[in-house]
Chains A and B, each alone.
Chain A
Amino acid sequence: MPMGHTATAQAGSGGLTATEHRLANGLRVVLSEDHLTPVAAVCLWYDVGSRHEVKGRTGLAHLFEHLMFQGSGQVKGNGHFELVQGAGGSLNGTTSFERTNYFETMPAHQLELALWLEADRMGSLLAALDDESMENQRDVVKNERRQRYDNVPYGTAFEKLTALAYPEGHPYHHTPIGSMADLDAATLEDARAFFRTYYAPNNAVLSVVGDIDPEQTLAWVEKYFGSIAGHDGKPAPRDGSLPEVIGEQLREIVEEEVPARALMAAYRLPEDGTRACDAVDLALTVLGGGESSRLYNRLVRRDRTAVAAGFGLLRLAGAPSLGWLDVKTSGDVEVPVIEAAIDEELARFAAEGPTAEEMERAQAQLEREWLDRLGTVAGRADELCRYAVLFGDPQLALTAVQRVLEVTAEEVQEVAKARLRPDNRAVLVYEPITPEATADQDENEEAAR
């Protein structure tokens, strides 16, 4: 490679390699060659997410992401979509707590177009941004919120759990979708200011993966992105650190028109990028991943008190990660029955740790998930950006699976004992009500809190 260093394939990287480069304006670039299929993935992570939003403007990062598809200096209207799709590519963007990503997967011979498009909006979005697209996308995002959260049973559970688990004023207290009131309040000037603050080359990582010529790719990146000025206008994000355990059991009872009782909980867990986070991932997999997990066996197979039971892990780098327990009850079973069984299982796990066979199963599951993620050029591009943005080193993506496989049963037990405790969780209980009772709902909900 003419610029930057060439990585050699590291143990556990499955033979994948990546090289790193930096333009003069601060844009970091990661390239990874793979000529098996004539496709190339472009992925651009901006180091901005909902955690950077301020009070009264929740949802702005995500609304802004929509505006990035409304044209830019040289691209008219829906051109970003039209040009990529017309070239046989696919594209999208997503917003999370910690980042906003944009990605195109292209037939290899159309790679240059994707780079040109991403550069155009990074450098000249504001030339196209106007009231019309702002008003239109505000409505679209509000309908996205209704469709994905407000109009489906339990749809706002995650939002409620997050609000419980991260205290008022914490940057992760609200989720990326934001509130309807704040979406209504956002102005065009807010969007402009957001762009000027966060959408700079030195606040982004670009990865290109697949059937590429690295030298040529880097020359295109320099050509299209090189003249965009970087700046130091980005304020440091608010501190997301919290004590390791919550220290009490938080609880909210929701009385809503839902089909069945549910018990959900959010546990405060180690930050992403740590060995303890990998260990807790394994713990949650043993306890609640798949159909041979302890909670599934106990609640669904043996006690037959639940229709579904599982644990998920939301890895976060700038705040404690979140372990999400989700149990839907069977028939008329009451929540305390479920809760007692879960506490028993968690206590037993903390006391005994995982068996050797459970470790093998959990590691095999997580290994396959990693193979899946790295098995497509788009998945690999996204992971390279993730490790570059959040941990400063894209190479870590290629060895992530190895680190999961190195964790010991003792470490899994230790983290479970320290973190999977009743005084380290926020609990959300759903109690179904019939439509006729809806009139009393507000009163009951207040009382429950």
Chain B
Amino acid sequence: MTELATMDFHPQPQAGEAKPWAFPAPQRGTLDNGLTVLRCHRPGQQVVAVEVCLDAPLEAEPAGLDGVATIMARAFSEGTDKHSAEEFAAELERCGATLDAHADHPGVRLSLEVPVSRLAKALGLLADALRAPAFADSEVERLVRNRLDEIPHELANPSRRAAKELSKELFPATSRMSRPRQGTEETVESIDSAAVRGFYEKHVRPATATVVVVGDLTGIDLDALLGDTLGSWTGSSAESRPVPPVTADDTGRVVIVDRPGAVQTQLLIGRIGPDRHDRVWPAQVLGTYCLGGTLTSRLDRVLREEKGYTYGVRAFGQVMRSAPDGTGAAMLAISGSVDTPNTGPALQDLWTVLRTLAEGGLTDAERDVAVQNLVGVAPLKYETAAAVASTLADQVEQHLPDDFQATLYRQLAATGTVEATAAAVSAFPIDRLVTVLVGDAAQIREPVEALGVGEVTVVTAE
């Protein structure tokens, strides 16, 4: 039975005239100490975002010291030549600021957010942290213990556990990418303040760093501000360091990380593929969105909106490391969780979606909606200073030109259905996907073996 509505209906309205918007172009410069500066004025954004990219990639960590970059990143906010650790945290918060730091494959990133009225003071603290970090024995010891305490929490989290297993499966054991970004119990235990300082001295210097400043900079003399703060940071000149190319084994196979009694199976299905320096990138972004970018994409249309197996499954491409010489790569993956009893049927449907895509391709309508969304949401997505700063910093880290994102939007708009299909199909070939399932092996092993998507092995969770 349906119910007749009593309202007056009107036809669906037509769009008004679009107003022009473009991804902001930053202004590039260099301080006397060699520090590269990107700045971008965003009217109305009262919280300024500052990103610092340090050329201290995980791959540069000494053997056996995985996690030293992470501990160093965290130790930046644990005291300087002017403040103890507690004082430093207090001073930052007194500015209403937040400072996050983390280490990843391309390098170490510091992200500062602060109301523009207190930018000067916060930049001073950031400069102290980079220029003269204390790395006191007792603080590093505490960070190491804290990090060791975090590891069991990560292993107990299904999506973190799945990510760890996929990296181990995909990348050769000799590659830093095969191992947890923040180190393992064994490696973290060996880290002390001397190791942190050693890593800092070898890899942190203004000449190989970039700072990105975005926000409402009305009335701010940023040159003077930066000169007084980050300008006083000194270090030797840049040395180039070769990086090994990213390789991976994407032979189709399944690894089940056993979690007895789990009510859902966390799935992470992935491989590596082209990064942002590859010409296929715009088509790959488009095709991946059509496959699993949102709940109206192909995967969720079946797995969620038809079958109800999941709260949502997404396909994505995440840059691991990107370089102009083609040695970089992106992780291409599908992730989500499905209820335990429906794990087999859900995976069966997922493979059917991939097979159907390969056989029939995308439709023009799908392509059009995807382009309209990916391009159309840009002004929303980049409303805040933090969003703009983060994308600009990603571009720096990935050795991309400053107008990369702006150009990407134009390329997306010019990418056709055939190219998007080809990119999606070669990004997710049905026989070259490594599947990690974190779930109850006793219940899911058999149905998964029956799918024939590769050899199934079971590992015991820690």
User: Residues of A at under 8 Å CB distance from B?
Assistant: 14, 34, 36-39, 73-74, 78, 81-83, 85-90, 105-113, 116, 119-120, 123-124, 126-128, 130, 135-144, 146-148, 150-153, 192, 211, 220, 223-224, 226-229, 257-260, 290-292, 297, 300-301, 304, 307, 328, 330-331, 357, 360-361, 364-365, 367-368, 371-372, 375-378, 435, 438
Contact = CB atoms under 8 A, between A and B. Distances in A.
Nearest to A114: B13
Given A300-B142, A365-B93, 19 more contacts: A39-B379, A78-B301, A85-B369, A89-B380, A107-B379, A109-B18, A116-B10, A116-B12, A123-B6, A127-B2, A139-B309, A143-B337, A153-B153, A224-B10, A227-B8, A259-B155, A259-B156, A292-B86, A300-B146
B64 interface: no
A352 B225 CA distance: 39
A109 B15 contact: yes
Interface string B1-29: 01111111110110111111100000000
Contact of B4 (A89, A127, A137): A127
Contacts of B301: 78
Contact of B12 (A113, A144, A257): A113
Contacts of A364: 93-96, 115, 118
Contacts of B262: 151
A228 to B, nearest CB: 5
B9 A74 contact: yes
Given A87-B15, A109-B16, A229-B6, A146 B47 contact: no
Contacts of B379: 37-39, 107
B295 to A, nearest CB: 6
Interface residues of B, number: 83
B442 interface: no
Interface string B160-172: 0000000000000
B53 to A, nearest CB: 23
Interface of B: 2-10, 12-13, 15-21, 43-47, 77, 85-86, 89-90, 92-98, 113-115, 118, 142, 145-146, 149-150, 152-153, 155-158, 260-264, 266, 294-296, 301, 304-311, 337-339, 368-369, 372-373, 375-380, 383-384
A89 B295 CA distance: 14
A88 B114 CA distance: 30
Given A143-B337, A307-B150, A368-B96, A110 B15 contact: yes
Contacts of A88: 372-373, 375-378, 380
Closest 9 CB pairs of A and B: A88-B376, A139-B308, A124-B5, A123-B7, A364-B96, A109-B16, A259-B152, A38-B19, A307-B149
B152 A260 contact: yes
A265 B95 CA distance: 30
Q: Which of B77, B262, B310, B375 has the most CB of A within 10 A?
A: B310
B146 to A, nearest CB: 6
Given A88-B375, A143-B339, A228-B7, A438 B261 contact: yes
A81 B294 contact: yes
Nearest to B8: A227
B410 to A, nearest CB: 15
A85 B46 contact: no
Contacts of B10: 116, 223-224
Contacts of B3: 126-127, 192
A146 B264 contact: yes
Given A34-B44, A88-B376, A260-B153, A304 B145 contact: yes
A365 B264 contact: no
Contacts of B77: 291
30 contacts: A37-B44, A37-B379, A38-B19, A73-B5, A81-B294, A81-B295, A83-B12, A85-B296, A88-B373, A88-B378, A107-B380, A109-B19, A135-B308, A139-B307, A140-B308, A140-B311, A143-B311, A151-B158, A151-B337, A227-B6, A227-B7, A229-B7, A257-B261, A297-B86, A304-B145, A307-B149, A357-B90, A365-B93, A368-B115, A372-B47
Contacts of A148: 311
Given A74-B9, A375-B45, A365 B96 contact: yes
Nearest to B95: A364
A156 B317 CA distance: 32
Contact of B13 (A39, A107, A116, A135): A116
Contacts of A113: 12-13, 15
A36 B156 contact: no
A231 to B, nearest CB: 11
Contacts of B372: 85-88
B46 A371 contact: yes
B100 to A, nearest CB: 11
B449 to A, nearest CB: 23
Contacts of B150: 307
Given A364-B95, A375-B45, A140 B294 contact: no
Nearest to B89: A292
B304 A140 contact: yes
B295 A146 contact: no
Contacts of A153: 153, 156-157
A156 to B, nearest CB: 12
Contacts of A87: 15, 372, 376
Nearest to B47: A371
A433 B5 CA distance: 55
B318 to A, nearest CB: 20
Contacts of B383: 37, 39, 375-377
A143 B338 contact: yes
A73 B145 CA distance: 59
B234 to A, nearest CB: 28
Contacts of A259: 152-153, 155-156
Given A86-B369, A88-B373, A152 B115 contact: no
B339 A85 contact: no
Nearest to B86: A297
Nearest to B374: A88
A367 B98 CA distance: 12
B292 to A, nearest CB: 14
A120 B13 CA distance: 12
| Most B C-beta atoms less than 10 A away, residue of A37, A83, A111, A152 | A37
B296 A301 contact: no
Contacts of A81: 294-296
Given A140-B308, A147-B337, A119 B296 contact: no
Q: Select the residue from A144, A148, A361 with max chain B CB neighbours within 10 A.
A: A361
A146 B20 CA distance: 43
A368 B156 contact: no
Contacts of A143: 264, 308-311, 337-339
A72 to B, nearest CB: 8
A147 B19 contact: no
B86 A301 contact: yes
Nearest to A145: B311
Given A85-B373, A143-B337, A330-B149, A360 B21 contact: no
B99 to A, nearest CB: 9
A257 B94 CA distance: 39
B395 to A, nearest CB: 21
Contacts of A110: 15-16, 376
A416 B52 CA distance: 39
Given A139-B309, A364-B96, A375-B46, A126 B2 contact: yes
Contacts of A152: 157-158
A203 to B, nearest CB: 16
B145 A119 contact: no
B123 to A, nearest CB: 16
